[in-house]
Structure 1
Amino acid sequence: MSLKKNILANYVSQFSIAIIGVIMMPMYIKYMGVEAYGLVGFYIMIQAWTQLLDMGMTPTLLRETARYRGGGISLRTLRQLTRTLETIFFCFSFCIALIAFHCSNLVAKNWLNVEHLPLKEVQLSIILIVFAVLLRWISNLYRGIISGAEKFVWLAVYNTSISIARFIVILPVILWVNNGPVAFFTHQFLISLTEIILLKLKSRRLYLQDAGDEAKQGKIFFFHWKSLRSVLKFSSTIAFTTSIWAIVTQADKLILSKILTLTDYAYFTLAVLASSCIMLLSGTTGTALMPRFSKLNFENRKNEITVLYRLATLFTGALSIPVTLALIFFTKPILFIWTGDVEIAINTEQLLSLYSIGNGLLVFNSFPYYLQYANGNLKFHFLGSILFALFFLPLLFLLSFKYGVIGAGWSWLTINLIFFIAWIPYIHSQLYPKLHLKWLFNDILPSLAYCLPVAFTLNYFIIWPSSRTQTFFILLTSCIILLCSTMIPLLFSLKIIKLSHVQKQYEKYFAR
């Protein structure tokens, strides 16, 4: 299937999932209560920390699947690696589940600042959270296989369906059966169990389609050291950098879960979730690009990698820049429309702006990773992750304990700005000399130059009404105007490129 269809499928899926989250999160607060929603925020944070457990195996399996499709490894080798990773993941999960079962009371009493919820209910919720998260972690293995096979349309439909089951189907339970956190997390556990079964069946079907008769592939062992050893160098680098990245991106959530009450943590979670929609745009593109980059690199088609890299930056910037500016300039109206609560909008306005700027920069900071991933050499990503952590974590601890959530927001903005200005140019100079200035001035800044004055003008002249409905339509119109403003440089670039007809102009523009 074409890369354009894969990216489009990912965008539609992620947009649908984001819309579901936008609609449902305020409803959880309304019907479950703010403090119970604080546990939902804790669940989201624990889910993100599972990146530490992945050990780089999911992206490794994605890459190996892409290599198999390019003729780099045999099907038997891929299947043996998958079985070995399954064994490791299930053993780790069993041990962690036992620890969670015995330590849940300690976390409920001594870490979370519970005000009104019964401790027994919080304790059981923590156990269910860990069980659900572990199942989702294992299911990422099968997502890696499906993504490596570039079955993104199927995966997009599947992810959207699971999100509907996970976040919308629970609503009748909350309304008419039980609105407590235990009922909510029991539902999450059951959906996670269903999810892993379906993904396992799909990945197995992909194997059998290529294998023909499974018996011809020979016996597949539960653990095969040789297949694991062959990917250890690549996976260990990803494991380390992913672990550092998980610590960097989730340290603020972990620290604030101790400092804040569950009620205040719920408001913090709302702001962070709203700003995270920016990262969906980058992650969606990256998911589709990485297997294609790996395949092109194996086929030694370096010029096409550069072309796709810059084109992806151009499209991502045209979408992420207006979204970022909307979250910065129209923060209070967005929060008011979303939650219907003026007090929440006022209390989280500044925090959302800070995290939005940081995430807007992070969208472009993440792009050089795709080039390194394609080459199978992550030494710069390894070094960058260490530097990021060394600068960010002390700054985060200092500002968070002194200024609370606002300090965390400023630390996130500052470190991403430093990396965008200093580290990204260095990476580009090492991988593709003379790329950075073209990437910056031709692919990013034109969209910002068109969109920023429009955002300033709209923010200056718009007088926001008190009606939620009127505010929504004014905001929708403003966002459409912002999006259209980035289409001008995008369409101009595409007119020069003439993608489908003039390949020479296409390569001349992007490779010069």
Structure 2
Amino acid sequence: MSLRRNTLWNLAGTGLPLLLGLVTIPYLIKHVGVEAFGILTLVWALIGYFSLFDFGLGRALTQQVAVARSAGLQQSLPSLVKTGLWFTTATGLAGGLLLGALANQLAVHWLNVSPSLQSSTSQALLVAAIGIPLTTVTTGLRGILEAYEDFRMVNLLRIVLGAANFGVPALSVMLLGPSLVGMVVGLIAARILVLAAHAWQVHKKLPSGWLTAKLSKDNMQKLLSFGAWMTVSNIISPMMVTADRFFISGILGASLVAYYTVPFEALIRVLVIPSALTSALFPRLASLAATNPEEAKRLYKKCLKMVVAVLLPICLVIMLGSRWGLALWLGEEFAIHAWKIVCILAVGLFLNGVAHVPFAAIQAAGDARATARLHILELVIYIPVLLLLMKTLGLAGAAIAWTLRVGLDLIFLMIYKNKASNLS
């Protein structure tokens, strides 16, 4: 299976929905208002963040299933997969209950939402809680498809979900008016359909009768030995990606969130390039790390050079065209507030994109513990720096703190990767 073809499918899966977002984001800001749209981006972030309740089993399933397939252990797959999916279902339900319990507190106290929007925000978060188990199980199913390197199907489904994330809220506004709850209900309905489609595709690939396979304590231990450390990364990494917007809402006010989150969400989509490559790279490296370390090393270096060559000019263009591009897309007033944020984030974008490659290589070798420890260290440094810079420099301070954090992440990952005996 071609790594290039798989990468192109990953690019399409993440990139194509953004074309719809270019149209729907201005529409939503115009019809629901800057603050309500900012709250919608927080709902997106919370659904994504609470998906950490898969306890790393999505990536663990990719790694374990890929290794089992390369070793010819097809008979072990039914129990391995069923055990992993059962666990992601149970933990996803726990995550959904937790978000539901926190919904009112978030809406009324923690997010600094305007009084007129507090009730609808609380209701929207309650609905969003249903999306947590849907997301965790879908992540597990996607991990299995990626282990089979079926990136075509993975990304056809990702296109559907991505298009729904942007298109369903706009459609809801057209049909039901500017209802935050209506937009979130639509998003959850879309996730149900996508989950069913993933389940059907996995069912077709696995040996018949896998649904009746026994749950295995040994398989659970193997998955959790990898997934537990992945969970640490899954808790901390999204926290460091999304914490800034919640601090902005709580300290500076929800009315300013959109000036940061809209350019951030637009820019972060550029990471579809390294993400597409490393997602395709991961199952291949997981197999090669155990069977052909020299080939794994060559593949790693090739991918690192490719990411640098592609991302550097893109980030330079973003910086130079930030003011003009924002004014054209969202209007001059929005551009005045946000163009400096874009310039700062573009630097971090490049650093974070390059870091995708050593991160994937380290985890493909089964060393999720190393990346988790790095994330713990980064979090301890990042949060105080974020608060200090945000209080002194406002939105620009939040952007600077994020850029410094991803730069530190890249340095740590490269140092550790160069010391790893299996890939260097």
Which residue of 2 is the match for residue 316 of structure 1?
A: 307
- Larger of the two Rg values belongs to structure: 1
The CA deviation at 1:424 is 4.4
Give per-residue Cα distances to partners, 1:157-198, cap 9 Å, x unaligned: 222133334422543431243221111111001001111111
Which residue of 2 is the match for residue 493 of structure 1?
A: none
Q: Is the 8 A contact 2:96 2:132 kept in 1?
A: no
Work out whether 1:94 is the aligned partner of 2:93: yes
Q: Is the 8 A contact 1:10 1:284 kept in 2?
A: yes
The CA deviation at 1:364 is 1.3
Structure 2: how far apart are the matches of 1:381 and 1:78? Answer: 27
Work out whether 1:305 is the aligned partner of 2:262: no
The CA deviation at 1:145 is 0.6
Query: For residue 313 of structure 1, what is the amino acid of its counterpart?
Result: L
Give per-residue Cα distances to partners, 1:201-225, cap 9 Å, x unaligned: 1111111xxx2x42xx69423x432
Work out whether 1:334 is the aligned partner of 2:325: yes
Unmatched segments (≥5 aa) in structure 2:
none
The CA deviation at 1:288 is 0.3
Which residue of 2 is the match for residue 121 of structure 1?
A: 120
Structure 2: how far apart are the matches of 1:97 and 1:370? Answer: 28
Of the candidates 352, 355, 361, which is equivalent to residue 371 of structure 1? 361
Which residue of 2 is the match for residue 442 of structure 1?
A: none
The CA deviation at 1:119 is 3.1
Q: Is the 8 A contact 2:61 2:143 kept in 1?
A: yes
Structure 2: how far apart are the matches of 1:100 and 1:49? Answer: 10
- Aligned to 2:268, the other structure's residue is in SS state helix
Structure 2: how far apart are the matches of 1:354 and 1:383? Answer: 27
Structure 2: how far apart are the matches of 1:246 and 1:119? Answer: 25
Which residue of 1 is the match for residue 252 of structure 2?
A: 260
Of the candidates 392, 396, 401, which is equivalent to residue 402 of structure 1? 392
Cα gap change, 1:171/1:408 in structure 2, threshold over 3 Å: closer, same or farther? closer
Query: For residue 29 of structure 1, what is the amino acid of its counterpart?
Result: I
TM-score of the aligned structures, taking structure 2 as reference length: 0.92
Structure 1: how far apart are the matches of 2:417 and 2:315? Answer: 24
Which residue of 2 is the match for residue 465 of structure 1?
A: none
The CA deviation at 1:349 is 1.0
Correspondence 1:149-168 to 2 at 5 A: 149-168=148-167
Cα gap change, 1:328/1:133 in structure 2, threshold over 3 Å: closer, same or farther? farther
Correspondence 1:431-450 to 2 at 5 A: 431=420
Structure 2: how far apart are the matches of 1:118 and 1:418? Answer: 38
Q: Is the 8 A contact 1:51 1:246 kept in 2?
A: no
Which residue of 2 is the match for residue 429 of structure 1?
A: 418
Structure 2: how far apart are the matches of 1:292 and 1:169? Answer: 35
Which residue of 2 is the match for residue 274 of structure 1?
A: 266
Structure 2: how far apart are the matches of 1:218 and 1:93? Answer: 20
Which residue of 1 is the match for residue 185 of structure 2?
A: 186
Q: Is the 8 A contact 2:248 2:256 kept in 1?
A: no
Which residue of 2 is the match for residue 243 of structure 1?
A: 235
Give per-residue Cα distances to partners, 1:296-344, cap 9 Å, x unaligned: 223x2122212221222232223211221122121111211221x1010
Of residues 1-10 and 50-59 in structure 1, the stretch that sits farther from structure 2 once superposed is: 50-59
Which residue of 1 is the match for residue 44 of structure 2?
A: 44
The CA deviation at 1:289 is 0.2
The CA deviation at 1:64 is 1.5
Cα gap change, 1:112/1:178 in structure 2, threshold over 3 Å: closer, same or farther? same
Q: Is the 8 A contact 2:390 2:397 kept in 1?
A: yes
Correspondence 1:65-214 to 2 at 5 A: 65-71=65-71, 73-75=73-75, 77-115=76-114, 117-207=116-206, 211=207, 213-214=208-209
Structure 1: how far apart are the matches of 2:125 and 2:82? Answer: 30
Which residue of 2 is the match for residue 384 of structure 1?
A: 374
The CA deviation at 1:72 is 5.5
Cα gap change, 1:418/1:167 in structure 2, threshold over 3 Å: closer, same or farther? closer
Which residue of 2 is the match for residue 220 of structure 1?
A: 213
The CA deviation at 1:122 is 2.0
Cα gap change, 1:359/1:72 in structure 2, threshold over 3 Å: closer, same or farther? farther
Cα gap change, 1:172/1:309 in structure 2, threshold over 3 Å: closer, same or farther? same
Cα gap change, 1:162/1:244 in structure 2, threshold over 3 Å: closer, same or farther? closer
Report how many aligned residue pairs link the two structures. 424
Give per-residue Cα distances to partners, 1:448-479, cap 9 Å, x unaligned: xxxxxxxxxxxxxxxxxxxxxxxxxxxxxxxx
Work out whether 1:352 is the aligned partner of 2:351: no
Identity of counterpart residues, as a percentage? 20
TM-score of the aligned structures, taking structure 1 as reference length: 0.77
- Aligned to 1:231, the other structure's residue is in SS state helix
Which residue of 2 is the match for residue 19 of structure 1?
A: 19
Q: CA RMSD in A?
A: 2.4
Cα gap change, 1:257/1:135 in structure 2, threshold over 3 Å: closer, same or farther? farther
Q: Is the 8 A contact 1:64 1:78 kept in 2?
A: no
Q: Is the 8 A contact 1:57 1:235 kept in 2?
A: yes
Structure 2: how far apart are the matches of 1:251 and 1:56? Answer: 20
Q: Is the 8 A contact 1:275 1:359 kept in 2?
A: yes
Query: For residue 69 of structure 1, what is the amino acid of its counterpart?
Result: R
Work out whether 1:6 is the aligned partner of 2:45: no
The CA deviation at 1:142 is 0.5
The CA deviation at 1:44 is 2.3
Structure 2: how far apart are the matches of 1:190 and 1:161? Answer: 12
Cα gap change, 1:105/1:147 in structure 2, threshold over 3 Å: closer, same or farther? same
Work out whether 1:296 is the aligned partner of 2:285: no
Cα gap change, 1:59/1:260 in structure 2, threshold over 3 Å: closer, same or farther? same
Give per-residue Cα distances to partners, 1:404-462, cap 9 Å, x unaligned: 32111111222333444x43452243126997xxxxxxxxxxxxxxxxxxxxxxxxxxx
The CA deviation at 1:51 is 4.9
Cα gap change, 1:91/1:427 in structure 2, threshold over 3 Å: closer, same or farther? closer
